[in-house]
Structure 1
Amino acid sequence: MNGQEWAEILVPLIVFSALVALMGLILLYNYKKKRLFLQMIERSLQQQLTLPPQTIREVALHFFSANRDTRKGVFLLVLSGSILAFSYFADFRQNGNLDLNDALNGIAILPALLGLAFLLLARLDRQRLY
């Protein structure tokens, strides 16, 4: 393999690996933030401090609100749309049986379905609250 063939393989691999790493870091940050909140509540209860239910409810709504699901859903739909647009505008040559444009269209399905699921969860959560 020459340098150009390696570049054709490594560039998409690095780009998609960076996206996966970024999403993993975001998920890890959100997990740690929620865990710290729950540890604070647990410590307060162990010290038998009185926490008014309104305080717990307000802080919990900040972490577990339907608006966050809406934001996640819209973000994932935009991500899916950007992958589809990239696949549409990029003209990859077909090597053997693999068509990279079809593969990218298939990859775009996952964030689209996840985005729709988050939007559905946000809608169901809003109907439950009101």
Structure 2
Amino acid sequence: MSHSLLFWLTTVCFFLHLEIQAKPIDPSTYKKRQLIVGSGGGFTGRSETYYLFEDGQLFKKSSVDTAFTRLPKQSAKVARHWLKKLETTCRIKETKFKEPGNTYEFVRWKKGAEVYTVTWGNDRIPPEGYQQLHEALMKRINPN
């Protein structure tokens, strides 16, 4: 009887492990820190957004996509570097700047339900550091 019990417990644990691993992680369900950058607007109103997790996972989604696209992973060290820069140099949690134009760019910090965004567009100049961070991160993520 003990062998049978051990077999069933092992089987149940195995399937629970598979169930846990099968749950996809994407920007809508990720609870840790995310650095989100994007741009959009113009005649079509289309936008593209990139999501960098603190562990280096990277996703993309445009306004016409129905799902997130997984991109090549960045190193966790690089992701933490960018998050630290956004938190300490740019001080996104204290910055209030929302001035989009017909076309716009943005940088966003998110952790769970806590979200901070800086948005600028056309001839509006964002606070120091944001445009440089946006450009540098976009070059790293999307070198095309």
Q: Shared fold (TM-score greater than 0.5)?
A: no
Using structure 2 for the length normalisation, give the TM-score: 0.24
Q: Which has the higher contact order (CA 8 A, sep 6+)?
A: 1
Using structure 1 for the length normalisation, give the TM-score: 0.26
* Larger radius of gyration between Structure 1 and Structure 2: 1
Q: More helix by proportion, 1 or 2?
A: 1
